Chains A and B, each alone.
Chain A
């Protein structure tokens, strides 16, 4: 088994102006997906991220306020999951709820120390 990071990119719900009803619907889908992975024992961790933030950059450690990228590239959250290979990880990512909102999932293998 390998470990993969699923990074969720796309506009925030805030920007999209989702209604309370839509927010509840989205939340329910995320919850169901998390539960499913939990039951399969493949979910290692992960959380949602707020849209705003800070960035520290350069030799002078200049601090700037976010957002730092175009909204379609904004990282809204991440999961760490266990999967045999990329194919299996892609399969897991099928359940990501926000494709229809223009979101995408970036999948990256986590580097592990080998003895």
Chain B
């Protein structure tokens, strides 16, 4: 059976039913679907259907009839019944392109500006991606009750503000799409930049983000340089997923085993990036992040990296959206370029307390600057500070080894 079949089918069925009945019935819809998947899991223990997807579609059609009855008794008003759905061939809602359309509408619904960012992410993972509250909680390192609250708040807003399953108006579509891209980017980063006990869930998040990005690409009018650039970025980063962790530790670019990088994803990312640059005029942070990732992946060894180019892309990023971690990244690039005073100038823009878990990188970078300037006393001090603030064991060991090097006469 295909991996994640149930999860993906769940998302599809929620979307189809939400289109027929309206997103104000999402509670009812998801309860009804839970039952369908439970049944499948029991029935398929002994014998699995030859076409599982067709089985689910048939089940969803039956659910339509069940729901019609339930909605009828719940609303007790003929007027609000989806007459059109009954009049229309229900069949049509199950055509492949209709299903895709429903899912895309769900994606815009999830990114409704009336939802808070955290509600958007939870709603998307639950109703589009088919994660349970428990799974979302594990993925976002939150309590299940918190996730439950966020989802029910979002659903309440759908009720209260009568939010429909519709695309934004032509005037709003650009902004709407930006929100959608941002949510996909955030979902990906939740998976990519964290290390959890259960690493499967991190990969699931990355996979989901990629899938949603691909879904957007199916619709021609949604394609843009930004979308291709985001897709490129997700592919290029995903290609490194095997190499970037060892157990519970994150391994940085410098120390990754580059033979573990996955060439097909690099190729896919490269192609998407070329399209983003050649076929469209818009430029975004996704472009430059993808270009940075691509420069790193082009280098056979860490030492072969074209630092001048990487630096240029970071500068472009900073022009769009300055941030503390950009200064840090630029400082370490200047170090690669053997320019300690430029590195120092970048560090001076940073408040190390705002770096949270990455604070140790600030001190480690400072130590390197001092080393290049032959100020070993100060380098030693900075390294000790780095070790003190570092919670990553692999990095901590690395810093300690450095300290020993300096201590040697």
Task: Give a binary string over A3-42; 1 marks a CB under 8 Å from any B CB, 0 the rest.
Answer: 0000000000110011111111011101100100000000
Q: Does A48 contact B (CB under 8 A)?
A: yes
**Which chain A residues lie closer than 8 Å to B48 at the CB level?**
31
**Which chain A residues lie closer than 8 Å to B381 at the CB level?**
none
> Known contacts A19-B134, A19-B135: does B45 contact A31 (CB below 8 Å)?
yes
Q: Does B63 contact A (CB under 8 A)?
A: no
**Which chain B residues lie closer than 8 Å to A27 at the CB level?**
40-42, 44-45
Q: Does B87 contact A (CB under 8 A)?
A: no
> Known contacts A17-B132, A17-B134: does B40 contact A23 (CB below 8 Å)?
yes
Instruction: Give the docked Cα–Cα distance between A85 and B40 (Å).
Output: 34
CB distance from A8 to the nearest CB of B (A): 11
A19–B131 touching, CB < 8 Å: yes
- B interface, size bucket: 20 to 34
Number of A-B contacts (CB under 8 A): 64
Residue of A nearest to B33 (CB): A20
B6–A30 touching, CB < 8 Å: no
B45–A34 touching, CB < 8 Å: yes
CB distance from A109 to the nearest CB of B (A): 23
> Known contacts A20-B9, A24-B1, A47-B46: does B38 contact A13 (CB below 8 Å)?
yes
Which secondary structure dominates chain A's binding surface?
Answer: helix
A24–B45 touching, CB < 8 Å: no
Instruction: Give the docked Cα–Cα distance between A10 and B9 (Å).
Output: 27
> Known contacts A28-B1, A31-B48: does B6 contact A21 (CB below 8 Å)?
yes
A24–B130 touching, CB < 8 Å: no
**Which chain B residues lie closer than 8 Å to A13 at the CB level?**
38, 41-42
**Which chain A residues lie closer than 8 Å to B356 at the CB level?**
none
Residue of A nearest to B134 (CB): A19
Residue of B nearest to A17 (CB): B132
Within 8 A of A (CB), among B21-65: 34, 37-38, 40-46, 48
Q: Does B10 contact A (CB under 8 A)?
A: yes
A22–B45 touching, CB < 8 Å: no
B1–A21 touching, CB < 8 Å: no
User: Which of these, A19, A30, A34, contacts B132 with CB under 8 Å?
Assistant: A19
Instruction: Give the docked Cα–Cα distance between A26 and B9 (Å).
Output: 17
**Which chain A residues lie closer than 8 Å to B134 at the CB level?**
17, 19
B38–A14 touching, CB < 8 Å: yes
Q: Does B211 contact A (CB under 8 A)?
A: no
Task: Give a binary string over B109-153; 1 marks a CB under 8 Å from any A CB, 0 the rest.
Answer: 000000000000000000000111011000000000000000000
Instruction: Give the docked Cα–Cα distance between A20 and B132 (Å).
Output: 8
Instruction: Give the docked Cα–Cα distance between A34 and B37 (Å).
Output: 20
CB distance from A16 to the nearest CB of B (A): 10
CB distance from A40 to the nearest CB of B (A): 16
B7–A21 touching, CB < 8 Å: yes
Instruction: Give the docked Cα–Cα distance between A50 and B40 (Å).
Output: 12
> Known contacts A17-B132, A28-B1: does B6 contact A23 (CB below 8 Å)?
yes
Task: Give a binary string over A71-83; 1 marks a CB under 8 Å from any B CB, 0 the rest.
Answer: 0000001000000
Instruction: Give the docked Cα–Cα distance between A30 and B38 (Å).
Output: 14
Residue of A nearest to B48 (CB): A31
Q: Does B79 contact A (CB under 8 A)?
A: no
A48–B42 touching, CB < 8 Å: yes
**Which chain A residues lie closer than 8 Å to B1 at the CB level?**
24, 28
Question: Measuring CB to CB, which residues of chain A are less than 8 angstroms from any residue of chain B?
Answer: 13-14, 17-24, 26-28, 30-31, 34, 47-48, 50, 77
Q: List 25 A-B contacts (CB under 8 A).
A: A13-B38, A13-B41, A18-B38, A18-B41, A19-B7, A19-B135, A20-B130, A20-B132, A21-B4, A21-B132, A21-B204, A23-B6, A23-B40, A24-B1, A24-B4, A24-B5, A27-B41, A27-B45, A31-B44, A31-B48, A34-B46, A47-B46, A48-B45, A50-B42, A77-B45
List the 10 closest pairs (A to B, CB-CB), nearest first: A19-B132, A20-B6, A30-B45, A24-B6, A23-B41, A48-B42, A27-B41, A20-B10, A21-B7, A20-B7
Q: A20-B6, A31-B45 are in contact. List 19 more A-B contacts (CB 8 A).
A: A13-B41, A14-B34, A14-B38, A17-B134, A18-B132, A20-B9, A21-B130, A21-B131, A23-B41, A24-B4, A26-B41, A27-B40, A27-B42, A27-B44, A28-B1, A31-B46, A47-B46, A48-B45, A50-B42
